[in-house]
Amino acid sequence: MTFPYSTFQIGSIVIDPPLIMAPLHEITDQPFRQMIREVGGVGLTVSEMISSEALVRHAWKAERMMITEGERPCAMQLAGCDPAHLAEAARMTEAAGADIVDLNMGCPASNVTKGGAGSALLRDIRLAEACVAAIVKAVKVPVTVKMRAGWDNSQKERAEYLDFLKMFETVGIQALTIHPRTRSQQYQGRADWSLIAKAVAAGTSYPIIGNGDVVTAEDALRMVRETGCHGVMIGRAALTNPWIFRQVLESGFTVTEAQRIDLCVRFFGLLLEILDEREAVHKIKKIGGWFTKGIRNGAHFRQRLNHIHEADELIRELEALKSL
Ligand SMILES: Cc1cc2nc3c(=O)[nH]c(=O)nc-3n(C[C@H](O)[C@H](O)[C@H](O)COP(=O)(O)O)c2cc1C
């Protein structure tokens, strides 16, 4: 079965195809987003979350907000809970070229929530409203939100997320992503897709993007079928299978071991363009290891990675994998 392909819009921006690479902290930086664009099948990428506090204090390097033309449209995601700082940070991301500004209302990490940001905003709808309103007022580009199902199960049971949906409409967001786990769940249990369906049924003026536990192309298809969501966002599955978006669009799309290794080499090249060699090697050790999962001698390669410190050696090891 093929994906029921239809585009949707975030404000005036057409998301084509309606498949989105999820924001992943310390992963979806510029080289990763460019790599995933080159693989194809993605209609929108989202930056890793950027702390609005770090941005306004100039503690976040401007080059980390770089967007290249080949990866548009690209949303920049902010995390914070001070409306004035979020507004200033939003203006900075817009000036840096963000096509969309997204606000994080989902991060469950205690270092984010203890200050009141991420999923902690779901406990204070008035503060959440002030934050979103401040961003909407500050920028011309569309503003979106990514939220969880609630802080905990009791908030989810009270269906408070529906109050948030209405509030977002009043404030004027242009799309909402729902990852239907509660903050208490962290990444445990299953994402409850019935909440995505309820959000779609609520008939909001903005599109709903479903997210959570899409592991295969068939899952993406099933999410659209079961929930009616306008777009599908994929996170963790794209780390071991960056081709998942292509597979959603082209049934029967397969990937050879040589393609996996070539992608690793290409991604390493992209990392070296903006990071110094030591940082690039460090990053490829983490991420390249995921791409080589399942290939012959991949486990041996990942063990070898621990002892590699130089770019040339790493490329040689990768090329050698192809001839084994
Ligand atoms: C390592 C990691 C980092 C993440 N970083 C972010 C982030 O910066 N911003 C955000 O909104 N969500 C973040 N998330 C959540 C994902 O975007 C996504 O909502 C979640 O992984 C569920 O989707 P999946 O099942 O397709 O992975 C992160 C998740 C993981 C595993």
Q: Which of 74, 107, 131, 229 is catalytic?
A: 107
177-181, 302-306, 315-319: range with highest mean pLDDT? 177-181
184 has pLDDT over 90? yes
**Of residues 294 and 156, more confidently modeled:** 156
Write out residues with Cβ below 6 Å of ligand 1: 22-25, 48-49, 77, 104, 106-107, 146, 179, 211-214, 234-237
Concerning whether 107 is annotated as a catalytic residue, the answer is: yes
CA distance 230 to 144: 14
> For the chain, what percent of residues have pLDDT higher than 90?
76
- 111-125, 222-236, 300-314: range with lowest mean pLDDT: 300-314
pLDDT score for 318: 84
Residue 214 vs residues 19, 230, 300: alpha-carbon distances, Å: 11, 15, 29
Q: Which of 111, 179, 214 to mutate to test the pocket of ligand 1 (most atoms within 8 A of CB)?
A: 179
Q: What's the mean per-residue pLDDT of the chain?
A: 94
Q: Locate 169 and state its tokens.
A: 């409409």
φ/ψ bin of 55: left (φ > 0), alpha (ψ from -120 to 50), beta (otherwise): alpha
pLDDT score for 110: 96
pLDDT tens digits for range 278-293:
989 888 888 877 878 8
pLDDT tens digits for range 201-244:
999 999 999 999 999 999 999 999 999 999 999 999 999 999 99
Q: Report the atom number in ligand 1 closest to the C-alpha of 79.
A: 9
Contact 99, 74 (CB under 8 A): yes
Q: How confident is the model at residue 324 (pLDDT cuts 50, 70, 90)?
A: low
Q: Which of 19, 21, 25 to mutate to test the pocket of ligand 1 (most atoms within 8 A of CB)?
A: 25
pLDDT score for 77: 98
Residue with CA closest to ligand 1 atom 18: 235
Q: Report the atom number in ligand 1 closest to the C-alpha of 49.
A: 8
Q: How confident is the model at residue 1 (pLDDT cuts 50, 70, 90)?
A: low
Helix (H) or strand (E) run with residue 303 in it: helix 298-305
**DSSP output for 33-85:** HHHHHHH---SEEEEEEEEHHHHHTT-S-GGGG---GGG-SEEEEEE---HHH
Q: Which of 20, 24, 111 to mutate to test the pocket of ligand 1 (most atoms within 8 A of CB)?
A: 24
CA distance 120 to 106: 8
Q: Report the atom number in ligand 1 closest to the C-alpha of 233.
A: 26
pLDDT score for 181: 98
